[in-house]
Structure formats: structure tokens, C-alpha cells
Structure 1
Amino acid sequence: MLPKIYVPLPIPDPALELMRQYGDVEVFPWTHRDASLDELASAARRSHYLFCMHHTPIRASLFGPGSKLVGIGTSGYRADLHDAEAIKASGVRILEAKRPEPPADPDGYTMEGYGLNPRATGQLMVALLLNLAYRVTESDHYLRGVGFFQEMTMQFMGQGTTGKTVGLYGFGKVAKQAARVLTNMDMTVLYNKRTRLTPEEEAKWGVQWAEPDELFTQSDYVCLLVNFEDANHELVGEKQFKMMKPTAYFINVARGRIVDEPALIRALQDGTIAGAGLEVFRSEPPVVHDAYVPAELRKMDNVVLTPHNGGATYASRGAQTLHIARAIVADIKANWKG
């Protein structure tokens, strides 16, 4: 008998094709929501392996009466979503995906997955910036609704990027990949991080150091890129938005909890800032199970929204899911007795 493998969201075909060679694979069919905790617990009662993406919770309910789980494939442990005590008590094996080997250049990439997610997320950040700079979404909605248009209309004039300043608040892997693109768009790129780069590193990435207050006051686009930790909870709020130019845009591809979201909504509503590009939101796991976007943001024409999907390229997501699938398959080969 083949083991049953449950995948709680649609994923790229290569990972599914690999697992189907060794197991009976069931995939949660919907793309507009995550599997609920009850649905995951139900799947555990009919499945031997659970495929987990980084946001899938591993709770005690997975190991309740009738659970058949013997292994859970994951890209890594998350203390805020994974119940370590319940996992240990269950005896279920945690099958952590092997990380891809880095190339000779640590800032490079391989199609096995190394460096792909920071590139995809950094490029999405730039896409949000360009969308706001040229008011692409507003123009698209207008044409779909009206049909007619005036050539060279003033209605959707944007500030563009040439000669403008972008501030990168945080400068890790994602910010580096964004900087590679931004410096070739005739923009001044400011950055801030805990420890300033060496002059050689600043020259390599084409960036200039700025203190946080300077970054917010001088930038035409402020991009949030710091990691979430308790000390960074609501790091950006009313004070920072009031520092920004009224013509400036705020872009967040980090974590929603780093921003005081009600303060951001007020700044957008009263014209304190010109608009925003948001990839992440406060109401996401682990704060809530079912991620959602506040109604106020959904109603604003000057806000561009994406569903926390920065790694959504076939190369990046495909490599990530394939590594998890390989971990599950390796365990089946070693331990499944049927």
C-alpha cells in the first residue's frame, strides 16, 4: 500500500509528480484561502505524510485521536507556528528540506533554489514601486471601467523614478537584489541597517547610508525590508509617516506586524503620504489563521495590493517545494513498510 500524502495548498507540478511516484497524493483544491485547522486535523486522520509550506501551522490538533501521521515535510521549524512539545510527544518525524548548496558567489543564485526567493521578492518590490510610480493599476481599472480615454491625459500623471530617491529600511538579501535593479533606474538609493556596510560594499551595491529619520524625510519611495522580531513590532507608525513627503509612497514586502496598520490607513486617508504598495499585512499567520486585507485598504485607488506571494515564480517556488517533496520521498524510501 502506498502512503497517503496531504498537500494543504496547490503547488507546482514537479514536486507533485515526484511524490506521486511514491505515494497517493491529495491536494487541497482552493487558491483563495488556506486549509483550516479542522481541515488539517481531518487530513491527518486519513494521511501518513503532511507537506507543509512555511506558513502551515503544526499544532497539537494534528496528532489527536485517529491521526495517521508518521512524517511532516517542511522547509524549517517556526517557533511561532509549530508546537514543539506536541511534535516531540507525537513521535511524528519532522522532515526538513535540504537547503540548496550556495554558489561560489554568496550573492549569486542557482536554479536548485539558492538565492531565488530573495531575487523574486526584491523584484516584486521593484514592481510595486514602478506600479505606483506610473499609476499602472489605477490606469488599468479606469480603462476597464470606461473604455474611452484621452491620449496624453493628465489624469494619471506619475512621478516616475528618474532622479528620485528610494530608501531601503533594512538591507538584507532581498534589499540587495532590489538595489541591483534600482541603481540602474537612475535613482538615488539610500539604506539603513543595524550595522553599516563597508565603503567597498556600499560601492558594490550602489547605495548610500542614511539615518532612519533622514531616510524617511528624503525618500520618494520608502521600502520596508527589516526582519520581524519582537523589538521591531510596529517599528513604523504615525511618527514615520508624518516625516515622509506628501508625494512619497510606502512599500512593505517585509512583515505586516512591523507597521502600525491603523496609522498607515490614516496616513493614506488624510493624504499624509501619496500611496502604498503592500505585499504583507497585520492579519496573517501567526496573528490569525485566515489571512485577510482590511476593507479600508481594499477601497483605496492609491494602494497596490499583493497576497504575500513574493516568491511566486515557477523557478523559486518550484525549487522550494521540490526540496520538501524530496525530504518526504527520502523518508518513504527509508521507513515506509506499507
Structure 2
Amino acid sequence: MRPKIFVSQPIPQPALDLMAEVADLEVFPWTHREVSIDELESAAQRSDYFFIMHTVPVRARYFGPGSRLKGIGMQLAREDLHDLAAMKAAGVKQIMSKPVVPTDDPDGYSLDGYGLNPRATGQLMVALLLNCAYRVNESDMFCRANGFFQEMTMQFMGHGTTGKTVGLYGFGKVAKQAARLLSAMDMEVLYTKRTRLSTDDETKWGVTWCADPDDLVARSDYVCLLVDFDDSKLKMFGEREFKLMKPTAYFINVARGRLVDQDALIAALTDGTIAGAGLEVFWTEPPNVVDPYVDERLRKMDNVVLTPHNGGATYASRGAQTLRIAEALVEEIKANWTG
């Protein structure tokens, strides 16, 4: 008998085709919501393996009486979402996708798999910034609602990018990919991080050091949050930081929602403390909730551009990531499945 793999959401076809060579597949069909814990527990009763993305929770209840699970394929293991101890105790294998070996990227980030994700996320950050700079979302909604326009109207005047300052609050892989685009758009690109780059690297990426994060926030026309999350950074950006920003400035977040005091952000957007925001991440995401959603207050704001935490959503990036999980599962099945 062939094993059965439950895939926690629709994924690019190449990964499905590869797994279908050695297993029967059941793919959770919906894209408008996450698979629930109850649905995963039920799937464990009829599946030998799970294929999950890294935000899908793993609970001990999946391994109870009647469970057929022998392994779970994943890209990242998260202690805040995945009960790894329960997996181990139940004898369910943690099947990790193989790491990407950097080859053709001069900065050590492979153009395959994980190296594509920071590129895609950095480019999405720039897209959010441009959307705010030229008020694309508001203009689109106006045209759809009204069906007419006044040529060269004053209604959707934007600040653009030429001669403006963008502050990169954090400077890792994603920031680097964004910086090279931003500096080509006639912008002054400031950055702050714990350790300053070398002079050569600052020249290479077209960025200027700003030692004081508050100074970066105050000087920037676009403040882009790009730091990694840990518990010490919970709500690190709140009312005080928003009040430091120019009233004409925009806040862009493609990092993590829990870095930001969301109520303070909503207040700043409502009372005109800042001009607007481009948001890819939200407070109401795992592990705070299993099924992530966007706060209704944000959804009603015209001066906010929203994307559903999907920064790596290119066929190349998502395709490579899912293919590597599939490869690990196929290798495991070929080596150990006995039927």
C-alpha cells in the first residue's frame, strides 16, 4: 500500500507532483483560512504523513488513539507552535526540508529556495512603500467605485520617492534586498542596527548609518520595520515611536505584527499622527491565534495598504521552499515506508 500525505494548504504543483510519485495526497482545499486543529486531528486518523507550512500548529492531540502519523514534513520548527516533545514521545519523525547551500549569490544567499524569499519579501516591502507614496490603493478604489476621474486631480496627490528619506529599522537579508532598489529610486536610505556595517558595505548597499533609532524614525518619510522578533521586542514600536514620526510619514511593516502595539498604530492612523501604513504582518497571527485575521479597524482605513503575510509569494520562492519539504518527505518514504 502507498502512504497517504495530508498537505495543510494548496501549494505549487511541482511539490505535489513529486510527492504523488510515492504517495496518495489529500490537500486541504481552502485558501481563505488556515486548516483548524480539529481538521488536523481528523486528518491524522487517515494520514501517514503531514506536509505543513511553518505557521501550522502541531499539537499532542494529533498523536492520540487512532492516529496513523509517522512523520511531519516542515521547513521550520517553531517551539511556540509545534509540540516537538509530543512528536518525539509519540515516535513521529520531524522531517525537515534540506538546507540550501549558497552558490551563486555574492552575499551568501542562494538564488534557490530560502535565498529567494528575502528577495521577494524585500521587493514586496518596496511595493508597499510605492503604493503609499503614490496612493495606488486609494486611487484604485476610487476608480472602481466611481468609474470616472478628473485628469491630474489633486485628490490623490502623493509624496513619491524622489528626494525622500526611507529608514530601515533593522538591516538583515530582507533590508539588503530592499535597499538596493530604494537607493535606485532617488531616496536617501538610512539604516540602524546593533552593529554598523563596514564603509565598503554601506557604499555597496547605498545606505547611511543612523546610530540612534529615534533619530531614524524622526527623519524618515517612510519608516520600515525589519527586525527579527523575540519576546524582548514585544510591542517595541508603539505610541512613543509613532509620535516621533512626521505627520506626513508612512509606516511599513513586513517583519512581525507583535513588534508593534497595534492599538497605538490604529490610534496614530486615526488621529493623523502619521499619514498611513503598509502592513504585511499583524498582531492576530500565530501563535496568538491559530487562524490569522486582519483587525476590522485596519480593514476600514483608506490610508492603509494590506497584504496577507505572503511576502514569499512568487512561484520561484514558494515553489522552491515547498519542493524541498516534498523532497525530504519523498526521501523518508523511499527509505523507510514498508506499507
TM-score, with length taken from structure 2: 0.98
Using the TM superposition, give the Cα deviation of residue 310 of structure 1 relative to its aligned residue in structure 2, in angstroms. 0.3
Using the TM superposition, give the Cα deviation of residue 259 of structure 1 relative to its aligned residue in structure 2, in angstroms. 0.2
Residue 60 of structure 1 corresponds to: 60
Q: How does 1:45-194 map to 2 (within 5 A)?
A: 45-103=45-103, 105-107=105-107, 110-194=110-194
Contact kept? 1:111, 1:319, Cα under 8 Å:
no
Residue 264 of structure 2 corresponds to: 263
Contact kept? 2:104, 2:111, Cα under 8 Å:
no
Residue deviations 1:239-287 (CA, integer Å, cap 9, x gap): 0000000000000000000000000000000000000000000000011
Residue deviations 1:171-219 (CA, integer Å, cap 9, x gap): 0000000001001000000001111111111111111111101111000
Contact kept? 1:107, 1:115, Cα under 8 Å:
no
Residue 7 of structure 2 corresponds to: 7
AA aligned to 2:268 is: A
CA-based RMSD? 1.0
Using the TM superposition, give the Cα deviation of residue 101 of structure 1 relative to its aligned residue in structure 2, in angstroms. 1.1
* Matched position secondary structure for 1:234: coil
* Matched position secondary structure for 2:47: coil
Structure 1 pair 105–143 and aligned structure 2 pair: CA distance change class (3 A):
closer
**Using the alignment, how far apart are the partners of 1:88 and 1:26 within structure 2?**
24
Gaps of 5+ in 2: none
Contact kept? 1:101, 1:114, Cα under 8 Å:
no
State the identity as a percent: 70
Residue 44 of structure 1 corresponds to: 44
**Using the alignment, how far apart are the partners of 2:120 and 2:111 within structure 1?**
13
Residue 277 of structure 1 corresponds to: 278
Using the TM superposition, give the Cα deviation of residue 108 of structure 1 relative to its aligned residue in structure 2, in angstroms. 5.6
Using the TM superposition, give the Cα deviation of residue 58 of structure 1 relative to its aligned residue in structure 2, in angstroms. 1.2
AA aligned to 1:228 is: F
Contact kept? 1:3, 1:22, Cα under 8 Å:
yes
Count of equivalent residues: 338
Using the TM superposition, give the Cα deviation of residue 76 of structure 1 relative to its aligned residue in structure 2, in angstroms. 2.2
Matching of residue 254 in structure 1 with residue 219 in structure 2: no
* Matched position secondary structure for 1:204: helix
Out of 57-66 and 98-107, give the one that drifted further.
98-107
Contact kept? 1:102, 1:114, Cα under 8 Å:
no
AA aligned to 1:50 is: F
Contact kept? 2:114, 2:321, Cα under 8 Å:
no
TM-score, with length taken from structure 1: 0.98
**Using the alignment, how far apart are the partners of 1:104 and 1:251 within structure 2?**
30
Using the TM superposition, give the Cα deviation of residue 77 of structure 1 relative to its aligned residue in structure 2, in angstroms. 1.4
Contact kept? 2:105, 2:111, Cα under 8 Å:
no
**Using the alignment, how far apart are the partners of 2:143 and 2:112 within structure 1?**
41
**Using the alignment, how far apart are the partners of 2:290 and 2:105 within structure 1?**
38
**Using the alignment, how far apart are the partners of 1:292 and 1:152 within structure 2?**
37
* Matched position secondary structure for 1:250: strand
**Using the alignment, how far apart are the partners of 1:44 and 1:203 within structure 2?**
53
**Using the alignment, how far apart are the partners of 2:209 and 2:109 within structure 1?**
26
Using the TM superposition, give the Cα deviation of residue 109 of structure 1 relative to its aligned residue in structure 2, in angstroms. 5.0
Gaps of 5+ in 1: none
